[in-house]
Structure 1
């Protein structure tokens, strides 16, 4: 009976730790909105072959940009920031995977719509963390 109680206690601690990994943050929503607006504008106005830098925030089981637009031929640098726990970012079709507050770079060689999602198990809302990379023809 003591073993069952001990195992149950450890499971409760593990669940609490996972839930707190994606807790709320004190970062202002105004800063995130300004960041999302400026990076989207930079991506939309870029010309083919140029480097496009995108800052993507992850918070409360969602990304601050549901869609990222770039042009075919752009070199893309995505920087992931998360203040409320461990999150990731992956675009499987472009072999991009970011773990935590880091960056990744790739060339947008193929036009189309590609799904991105969180690649770090971050809690109960993990499966809702997704969006679309839209690569438009140049």
Structure 2
């Protein structure tokens, strides 16, 4: 084998095995990501414990629950609590989506830049409330 030749020419069988292994690894990561994305729902309770929301990775509201604390709130307070909790849940779901997809395409890629640009930004004040997935 001539070390100056490109790998595909120097040892085409090894190059083919490497490509097949790379494709199999990529498929495995993509399959795992698909499963994790399907299970990526976020449930979050408001700071005042009046509201609990569940959203999917796209930010679709799947569930909204109001506790007895909500009965003592004005309409404006309840609306603010619902919206804040919903916004934070969407941000957490988006952050998890980025985490899942970075395992497939790499954290430092054009695809991840595109994904990050399409998702809502994380709240700075949300970092202190963040719980493990």
* TM-score, normalising length: structure 2: 0.33
* TM-score, normalising length: structure 1: 0.33
Larger radius of gyration: 2
Give the structure with the larger helix fraction: 2
Question: RCO greater where, 1 or 2, for CA within 8 Å and sep 6 or more?
Answer: 1
